[in-house]
């Protein structure tokens, strides 16, 4: 085998293992955000604490106890999607206030991604 071939094999396997590692850690929800806006986990966390934790501390729900932010519950209620959470946070629902006038869409998408990741990893 030529030296050049060996180098190519090494480079390709490095790229493949890099991708394997990277794909494990990139949240799948990332795909749903627009390319112009890479989701910011820390911002989502900060905004969640400031705006949501009064009612949703630790992923629970202080007002309607069964509507938690736990993964299984979100799934059953069709809420385990960035789009659904963004919609509900923007427009509100029943006793949940609307945040559309107070937060930007970008902020709300950061929160939605944060909620989905937390639900998956456990609050």
Residues within the interface to ligand HEC (CB under 6 A): 51-52, 54-56, 61, 63-64, 67-69, 73-74, 77, 79, 85, 88-89, 93-97, 99, 111, 115
Our CB check for ligand HEC shows the closer of 5 and 101 to be 101
Contact assessment for residue 55 and residue 94, using Cβ atoms and an 8 Å cutoff: no
CB of 36 to ligand HEC, least distance (A): 22
Our CB check for ligand HEC shows the closer of 19 and 97 to be 97
Cα–Cα distance for residue pair 84/78, rounded to 1 Å: 7
Element holding 43 (H helix, E strand): helix 41-51
Our CB check for ligand HEC shows the closer of 37 and 75 to be 75
CA dihedral 108, 110, 112, 113 (to 10 degrees): 170
CB of 90 to ligand HEC, least distance (A): 9
CB of 3 to ligand HEC, least distance (A): 55
CB of 64 to ligand HEC, least distance (A): 4
70-75 contact pairs (CB < 8 A, 24+): 70/119, 70/123, 71/119, 71/120, 74/115, 74/116, 74/119
Our CB check for ligand HEC shows the closer of 17 and 91 to be 91
Residue 84, Cβ neighbours under 10 Å: how many? 15
């Amino acid at each position: 085998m030529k030296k050049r071939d060996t180098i190519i094999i090494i480079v390709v396997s490095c790229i493949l293992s890099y991708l394997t590692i990277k794909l494990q850690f990139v949240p799948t929800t990332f795909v749903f955000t627009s390319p112009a806006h890479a989701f910011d986990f820390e911002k989502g966390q900060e905004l969640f604490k400031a705006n949501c934790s009064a009612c949703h501390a630790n992923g629970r729900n202080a007002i309607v106890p069964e509507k938690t932010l736990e993964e299984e519950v979100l799934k059953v209620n069709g809420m385990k999607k960035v789009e659904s959470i963004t919609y509900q946070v923007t427009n509100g629902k029943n006793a949940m206030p609307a945040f559309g006038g107070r937060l930007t869409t970008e902020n709300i998408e950061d929160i939605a991604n944060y909620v989905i990741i937390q639900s998956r990893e456990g609050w």
